[in-house]
Structure 1
Amino acid sequence: MSDSNTINFTNPPTFILLGIPGLERAHIWISIPFCAMYTLAMLGNFTILFIVKMEPSLQGPMFYFLCMLAVTDLVMSTSSVPKMLSIFWFNSREISFSACLTQMYFIHAFSTMESGILVAMAFDRYVAICHPLRYSMTLTNSVVAKVGLAVMLRSGVLTLPYPFLAKQWPYCRTNIIPHFYCGHIAVVKLACTDIRISSYYGLFNLFSEIGMDLFFIAVSYTLIFRAIFRLHTKDARLKTFGTCISHICAIVALYIPDLFSSLTQRFGHKVPLHLRVLITSMYLVVPPVLHPIIYGVRTKQIRVRLLQLFTHKET
């Protein structure tokens, strides 16, 4: 490994992922909660997909968006956690250059896709609460499919420059990445050239995509809250607001770790490296775990159907 630090290369054959630098001795213990969370994420999101597929009454716009979110969670966590666990358990730190760029693309593309789906779900709540009579006419299956395709194309196209730019830079210092996955900034920081284009494009993506998504979500909920406060009774206001709780929790679970992780990667030089890596892991692992729990507990139709499945098995 010491030789790999000094050899000059344009595109290294492999990168070395350190896992969580400074906490190598605790990798086995750290792997336990991560393995548990990944298992819960797999079970929870596959359960959501199964219930929506098997229950005809759940096959509507809100649940289609929920299925999109579940698929996105499955891909995003699977793109990072298995490699993380292989580092923790088997010290399997090597990753080929092409596999590194592929992992980079999938993680960033699907995290952006998840943000776009939350915007679509905010629009769904806006139409359901502010224009309930037009809900079925506005959010038809065709519209839902077009929205899903637009979200997928946007994230896929805007993430493409990440691996293409990273592939063009010369790497002549080291091939050691102080992380457990190939994040965009973590990789391009190893280049021995001016990487301002990559850095500026990453910031552009962060503030244009995430910033724009948060703006549309904020507008949707401003209109939703106005409609809620106009309701005549407190019970009606609480009941209507209750339909938004799951979505609001999902927004908080995604955006706070995501923004904190992105900003600390670029500007948090005083934050200890192991803490920065742990914060990043939260945004990759926690939302896929929380989303099925949030929607399973808060959404009555899913909760009832889940209870029916378990009681049916018991009888």
Structure 2
Amino acid sequence: MVDNATHFHFSSFFLVGIPGLQDYHCWFGIPVCLLFALTLLGNSVIITTVKLEPSLHQPMYFFLCMLAVNDMALASSTAPKMLGIFWFDDHRVSFNSCLVQMYFIHTLCIIESAMLVAMAFDRYVAICVPLHYTSILTTSMVIKMGLVGVSRAILMVLPCPLLIIKLPYHTNCVINHAYCEHMAIVKLASANTFINRAYGISVALSVTIIDLMLIATSYIKILQAVFRLSSQNARSKALGTCAAHVCTILVSYIPALFSFLTHRIGKKVPPSVHIIFASVYLLVPPTANPLVYGVKTKQIRDRVVGLFFPKKNISEK
């Protein structure tokens, strides 16, 4: 333990895992391991496919690669420790390591949201102002949008660990969670945590509301443009290009909103249910995104088939 005149910190925290279901931890490890492996494999395939196929060197697929890299980082920041808890009873995590994990998890989640906004903007430009697509979404613009999303996340989350470091921890070092989550750590402090809670909820609400409003605005404009098209085939094709992105948005935001709301107002929700949903929020979207885009995007699907089944691809031609 670390002690000084004003603060008292445990040298490590004890991550329970899933409270009340500890006897089933070994079984929970199986889907976590499977999702982690599929995340690394699926997103690696997406990145490799875009890199090898010149026709995919477009802003839409550059944003998809950014999302894939972020998804692999997000899964890697949580799954290994969760597997350590579920399979090897490795519950201990040092105070500093816990803060680092918390910082990366929340930073990567905000980056994920920013990438979804960027992809919605890409679809808006492609469908609503197609003649200006290449002049608006240049390579430099794509890079700038990516950097803005990353910078916003880094700066918004940075105060969270800095504020936590100032809190004293006297009596409780047990975190009833499977990973180091901001509110789960704050609740253990032996002091007034109003500033921590207020800042945390402000960041979560501002990111969610602003990003969802931007995405909704993009899709309202897209729908207006699509329904002005005279051809049914053109309307179907335009909506089809957005289907994968809409699926990704639903998979990403629904579990996130459930986790966020149960932390604040869902006092009757069992802790085990909340933690399972919080884990789903971090592990399922990174796994689902490459599957959704692989199935829904013809260019990626055809290229993947060509890479892994070249003989079949040739015979079909």
Query: What one-letter code is carried by the residue in structure 1 that aligns with 2:161?
Result: P
Q: Which amino acid aligns with 1:99?
A: S
Kept after mapping to 1: 8 A contact 2:117/2:215: yes
Amino acid at match of 2:233: D
The alpha-carbon deviation at position 236 of structure 1 amounts to 1.3
What is the aligned partner in structure 1 of residue 208 from structure 2?
210
Q: Which amino acid aligns with 1:15?
A: F
Q: C-alpha separation between the residues in 1 aligned to 2:94 and 2:205?
A: 30
Task: Say if 2:129 is the partner of 1:131.
Answer: yes
Check conservation: 2:7, 2:167, Cα contact below 8 A. no
* Equivalent residue, structure 2, for 1:87: 85
Letter in structure 1 aligned against 2:74:
M
Which one of the candidate residues 194, 197, 218 is aligned to 2:195?
Answer: 197
Q: 2:37 aligns with which of 23, 36, 39?
A: 39
- What's the offset of the Cα at 1:156? 0.6
**Residue matched to 1:228:** 226
Output the CA distance in 2 between the equivalents of 1:23 and 1:67.
37
Give the fraction of aligned pairs with identical amino acids, expressed as a percent.
49
Partner of 2:260: 262
The one-letter code matched in structure 1 to 2:31 is P
2:97 pairs with 1:105: no
Give the aligned residue type for 1:142.
S
| TM-score, length-scaled by structure 1 | 0.96
The ranges of structure 1 where at least 4 consecutive aligned residues each deviate by more than 6 angstroms after the TM superposition are: none
Secondary structure of the residue aligned to 2:9 is coil
Query: What is the aligned-residue RMSD (CA, Å)?
Result: 1.4
The equivalent of 1:18 in structure 2 is 16
Aligned partner of 2:300 in structure 1 is 302
Number of the residue aligned with 1:277 = 275
CA distance in 2, matches of 1:224, 1:69: 22
Cα distance, 1:142 vs. partner? 0.3
The match for 2:290 is 292
Deviation at 1:161, TM superposition (A): 0.9
The CA deviation at 1:282 is 0.7
Q: Which residue of 2 aligns with 1:115?
A: 113
In 2, Cα distance between the equivalents of 1:301 and 1:204? 40
TM-score (norm 2): 0.95
The residue identity in structure 1 corresponding to 2:294 is G
1:84 CA displacement = 0.2
| 92-101 or 51-60, larger mean C-alpha shift | 51-60
In 2: Cα distance, 1:10 partner to 1:80 partner:
27
Distance (Å, rounded) in 2 between the aligned partners of 1:152 and 1:86: 29
Tell me the amino acid that sits aligned with residue 128 of structure 1.
Answer: A
Deviation at 1:312, TM superposition (A): 2.5
Separation in 1 of the partners of 2:209 and 2:114? 11
| CA distances 1:150-177 after superposition (whole Å, capped 9, x unpaired) | 0000001001011111111101121000
Q: Distance in 1 between matches of 2:170 and 2:264?
A: 21
1:253 maps to which residue?
251
2:145 aligns to what?
A: 147
How far apart, CA to CA, are the structure 1 residues paired with 2:268 and 2:171?
A: 23
| 1:280 partner letter | A
Give the superposition deviation at 1:203: 1.1
Deviations 1:128-167 (A, max 9, x none): 0000000000000000000000000000100101111111
Separation of aligned partners in 2, 1:279 and 1:245: 24
CA distance in 2, matches of 1:248, 1:180: 29
**CA displacement, residues 287-315 of structure 1 (integer Å, 9 cap, x when unaligned):** 00100000000111110000001123789
> What is the number of equivalent residue pairs in this alignment?
309
Distance 2:74 2:171 in 1: 30
SS in 1 for 2:93: strand
Q: 2:56: which partner in 1?
A: 58
SS class of match (2:8): coil
Whole-Å separation in 2 of the counterparts to 1:209 and 1:98: 26
Q: What SS does the corresponding residue of 2:20 show, helix, strand or coil?
A: coil
Residue equivalent to 1:70: 68
Quickly say closer, same or farther: Cα 1:188–1:313, change in 2 above 3 A. farther
* Structure 1 stretch displaced more, 124-133 or 194-203: 194-203
Match of 1:156 among 154, 157, 160: 154
SS at match of 1:79: helix
